[in-house]
Amino acid sequence: MFSTKLDQILFKTRKHKASLSFLAILAAGMFFRLYNLLFFHPMTADECVYTQAVFAMTRGYIPYKDIFIAHPLVYFYIEYPFMYLHPSLLSVRLVSVLLSLGVMLLTFRIADSLYSQKVALLAMAFFAFSPYTIYYNKLAIVENAVLFFVTLSLYFFLMYYKFGGKWNLFFCGFFSGIAFISKYSALVVIIVIVFLVALRDLKILGVFIGSASLMPSLFLLSLILSDVHHYWFTQTVVFQMIRFGFPLHMRLFELGFFFTLSSPLFVAAAPIITFKKSREDFMLMLLYVVPFFLILLGKVLINHYFLMLSPILCIIAARSLHQYVDSKSRKLNRMIAAILLVFIIHFLISSTFFMGSSSSELAVRAKMEVADRIRKITADNDKIWTTEADIAFFAKRLIVAPNSTIWKYQGFYEDVWGFFGTSYIGGFTGYSGGLITLSEIRQALDVEKPKVIVILRNKVADNLIWNGINSPNYHENGLAEYILANYRLNFTHHDIDVYIIK
């Protein structure tokens, strides 16, 4: 009798401790994602393109027809109410933080269902404290929507694989379809799911394919009915297919950047190869390794492409580390301590990357101050022209888009020249007409006559605009003479010059 009561007390104590650990990890993960969310980093090129697109949608502009959008619309509609109610950097980045909260919960639930509560807590902790996931969960980018819906589809797939049930498979397919119309790269995970479903029961594969096709079909139908399907095809399909290939050294840099931020996870996950593996272990490894190599084979490689695979890697790492603990070897216990120490040191070294620095905060604040001045000298419907789309966003104004097919494909000027710099000007592969030219920009400025032009004196793209390009592959005069003839310098703040139309 006494032994039974003691067992009950111990069970309740363990359950209470697990609940406290769960809440502590969740709270800490949210804290690091919310901390200094506004000022930790200036808006990236992708953030600028996406937020300007959603902001334009709230002003009545039609997606694809009136504004450039390089992806399907799921993420943009998730952001829409936040942007409509309060267009600010805090609002748009908060969307990603909330999506990451859902991913943390799903990571715990998947690991708990496949293995144990201890593995689940460890997997959630890996995701919560990984510098790689923290950084990208703080940015307003499409990848966070893909991450959430891919993880949700994986949850229902693994529930189906473990417990069966057509409804689990239906929801797996349904959310796979939504992941696909968040960003097409979700297909690299969906391919593996299709293979595993067919391997288990080929007869039921139709349920998955049918449910996965549902939302993409409705999306395509809505595009056809609104007569924007040709714009959508050009911007999200043709553009992605002709997109320039990365030089090898840039691919290696992006891959190295990813491994640098995720290295402790790979250190913890690697030893799983040496342990006896269950069916679940093999499935997770397949779900990570195949999409990983498919991403590597693509024409373009950017380190945030791997974000949607992070929950799987965290679960594999947690499973591997838990097997270490179960082995009860002194040598292995020392290795566990070493791995945890690596995690802590890595986290501390990387913390300024995702928590911010004084220089990052100064850069954001400077753009906000400039945007505030622009808002005072312009009306709501006035357009500005700048390579810094975040200045336009902070000022709640729209950027003038030049009349160029190349521009339509790429989005904003900074997303090409500002990112790659001068060494590849005129030399991108896949663009039959080359990059957008300064004469095309001047033509657009002549037609649309923006109220304000913003130039950053120390930025590569802006120097090219102002002074022109003179390289072995390309030569074109700058726009300084044109701007000075039609605009006057209104004010200067830090390294930012603001010109207003005469």
Cβ atoms 198, 34 nearer than 8 A? no
Tell me the per-residue pLDDT of 303-324, one tens digit each, with 9 for 90 and over. Answer: 999 999 999 999 999 998 888 7
High-pLDDT (> 90) share of the chain, %:
40
CA distances from 169 to 132, 163, 179, 279, 286 (A): 31, 11, 15, 18, 18
Instruction: Name the residue type at position 51.
Output: T
Question: Does residue 123 carry a pLDDT above 90?
Answer: yes
Q: Position 445: which residue type?
A: L
Residue 383 φ then ψ, to 5°: -100, 150
Buried/exposed 100-127: b ≥16 CB within 10 Å, e otherwise: bbebbebbbbbbbebbeebbbbbbbbbb
With 80 as the cut, is the pLDDT of residue 155 above it?
yes
Written as six digits, the tokens of 390 are: 């975040």
Measured distance CA(137)–CA(321) in Å, rounded:
25
* Pairing state between β 452-456 and 398-399: unpaired
Give the per-residue pLDDT at 468. Answer: 80
CA end-to-end distance (rounded Å), the chain: 92
Secondary structure of the chain: what % helix, strand, coil (to 5)?
Answer: 70, 5, 20
Q: Who contacts 378 (Cβ-Cβ below 8 Å, separation ≥6)?
A: 384, 395, 397, 451, 452
Sheet containing 487-493: give its strands across: 398-399, 383-386, 452-456, 496-501, 487-493
What is the amino acid identity at position 309?
L
Tokens found for residue 229: 């399907």
Is the pLDDT at 184 greater than 80, yes or no?
yes
Find the mean pLDDT for residues 63-90.
Answer: 89
Residue 386: pLDDT band by 50, 70, 90 thresholds? confident
Give the predicted TM-score (pTM) of the model: 0.87
DSSP per-residue string spanning 116-177: -HHHHHHHHHHHHH-HHHHHHHTS--THHHHHHHHHHHHHHHHHHHHH--HHHHHHHHHHHH
Predicted pLDDT at 242: 63
Query: How high is the pLDDT of residue 430?
Result: 38
At residue 111, the pLDDT reads: 93
Task: Quick: pLDDT tens for 128-145.
Answer: 999 999 999 999 999 999
Is residue 7 predicted with pLDDT exceeding 80? no
Q: What is the pLDDT of residue 142?
A: 94
Q: Which residue has the tokens 């799903």?
A: 106
Which has more confidence, 410 or 458?
458
In the DSSP assignment, the letter for residue 384 is E
- C-alpha to C-alpha distance for 377 and 390, rounded to whole angstroms: 18
Asked if 399 and 53 count as a contact pair (C-beta separation under 8 A), the reply is: no
The pLDDT > 70 percentage for the chain reads: 84
| Polymer length in residues for the chain | 502
Q: Are 304 and 136 in contact (CB under 8 A)?
A: yes
**pLDDT tens figures, 15-71:** 656 788 889 899 999 999 999 999 998 888 788 888 888 988 998 888 888 887 888
Q: Band of the pLDDT at 390, cuts 50, 70, 90?
A: confident
Residue 6's pLDDT is: 44
What is the residue whose two structure tokens read 């959603």? 54
Contacts of 212 (CB under 8 A, 6+ apart): 173, 174, 176, 177, 180, 190
Q: For tokens 């840099």, name the residue.
A: 253
Predicted confidence (pLDDT) per residue in 430-466, tens digit: 343 445 677 777 888 888 889 999 998 887 778 878 8
Task: List, in sequence order, every residue forming a beta bridge with 67; answer none if it has no partner.
Answer: 63
pLDDT of residue 44: 85
Query: Which tokens in the block code for residue 144?
Result: 């966070």
pLDDT of 331 higher than 80: no
Whether 405 shows a pLDDT value over 80: the answer reads: no
Domain residue spans of the chain:
2-355, 359-501
